[in-house]
Amino acid sequence: MNTILHKKHSKRSLFAVLCTFLLCISLTLPVLASAKVDLASIEVANKSEISGDVYDGAGLLSSDQITALSNKLAAIEQQYQCDVVVFTLKDTNGYDVRNYVEAIYTQCGYGYGDGHDGIIFAVSMAERDWQLLTYGYGLTAVSNEYGFDYISSRVTSKLSDGDYYDAFTTFADLSEAFLKEAREGTPYSDDNPAKLTFLSRALPYLMSFGIAFIVALIICSVKAASMKTAVKKTSAADYMEPGSFHLTKKRDYYLYTTTQRVKREKNDSSSSSGSSGGGSTDSNGFGGGGGKF
């Protein structure tokens, strides 16, 4: 009888030890998963060739496009003291795409000032990955909660269509708008949503053109008025002799009716690319995230 009780007690003890072991593993896994990655240990391919605001390792842009995009990004950096860069890669040398992009940023000297502030957009063509990452003040301007989804949704749709230059210029324009708002002390957020339509971005230029046009029109009108001596008649009656016109009959004719039909499009909210739900800040201090296109 004692032997049977001893065996039962041993089984219970073994079961308790096994449960404790599994519990320890389950608690340890999240810690291991969030462990800080040593970015300096990642081998960046063609490291000596990576420089400038645009690195086109995948050859997606023409030389003229690279020049135009580089000038745009450099102007943004100078005005808002934050690096804004674009990387295109053939692959990530076998590393996780996010870790690899972060390694390029840190190893190749990117980032503005002592805080290495920056906003990065990168694509890797091998697996059609994209990453929108932020660091330092870049994370303040483009938050994980709002800015990441706003910018990425408008850029990745163009990537899926193969419009790479358009995608990168859109990223640059939106980064500039978010940095401008942040520097003014009101970063875009759910409480201060962005309304960055084409018209809103072009409005300052349209206003300048409109003011110049109105001034020119006034000057020309004044000069033209001073040159005219004839008085223009404004009524047809001014050209008729009094009593020479007599209306004898009036009749209305129905000609036709025009009907116009417009097809109502169905709202398709599904998408096969991009990412939603916001970005996240990792153990290396980078915010943002990525997905497939």
What pLDDT does residue 168 have? 98
- The share of the chain scoring above pLDDT 90, in percent, equals 58
Tell me if 284 sits within 8 A of 36, measured CB to CB: yes
> Up-side HSE of residue 90: CA atoms within 13 Å toward CB?
6
Query: At 137, which CATH number?
Result: 3.10.310.50
Q: Does 130 have pLDDT greater than 60?
A: yes
Burial 60-74, CB ≥16 within 10 A → b, else e: bbeeebbeebbebbe
Range of the domain at 51: 47-196+276-292
Number of independent structural domains in the chain: 1
The mean pLDDT value for 49-78 works out to: 97
d(CA 58, CA 36): 28
Tell me if 47 sits within 8 A of 100, measured CB to CB: no
Q: Does this model's pTM top 0.75?
A: no
What pLDDT does residue 252 have? 61
d(CA 216, CA 43): 61
Number of H helices, E strands in the chain: 7, 5
- In-domain check, residue 235: no
d(CA 151, CA 119): 11
**Residue keyed to tokens 């990792």:** 282
Tell me if 54 sits within 8 A of 73, measured CB to CB: yes
What pLDDT does residue 195 have? 84
Report which listed range, 186-190, 264-268, 277-281, is most confident.
186-190
- In-domain check, residue 259: no
- In-domain check, residue 134: yes
- In-domain check, residue 39: no
Q: Say which residue, 83 or 275, is predicted with more confidence.
A: 83
d(CA 122, CA 40): 19
Which strand (E) or helix (H) includes residue 5? helix 2-33
The mean pLDDT value for 217-238 works out to: 62
User: Average pLDDT over the chain, rounded to whole?
Assistant: 80
- In-domain check, residue 285: yes
- In-domain check, residue 6: no
Range with the poorest average pLDDT among 3-7, 134-138, 239-243, 249-253:
3-7
Q: Say which residue, 200 or 248, is predicted with more confidence.
A: 248
With both helix axes pointing from N to C terminus, report the angle between 147-160 and 164-183 in degrees, rounded to the nearest 10. Answer: 170
Name residue 55's beta-bridge partners: 87
- In-domain check, residue 216: no
Q: Does 215 have pLDDT greater than 70?
A: no
Phi, psi of 237 (to 5 degrees): -65, -25
The mean pLDDT value for 158-184 works out to: 97
Tell me if 88 sits within 8 A of 57, measured CB to CB: yes
Tell me if 108 sits within 8 A of 49, measured CB to CB: no
- In-domain check, residue 270: no
What pLDDT does residue 129 have? 98
- CB atoms under 10 Å from CB of 46, counted, come to 11
- CB atoms under 10 Å from CB of 129, counted, come to 21
Region of residue 139 (phi > 0: left; psi between -120 and 50: alpha; otherwise: beta): alpha
Q: What are 75-98's pLDDT values in tens digits?
A: 999 999 999 999 999 999 999 999
Please say whether the dihedral angle defined by the alpha carbons of residues 23, 25, 31 and 33, taken in this order, is positive or negative: negative
Tell me if 178 sits within 8 A of 188, measured CB to CB: yes
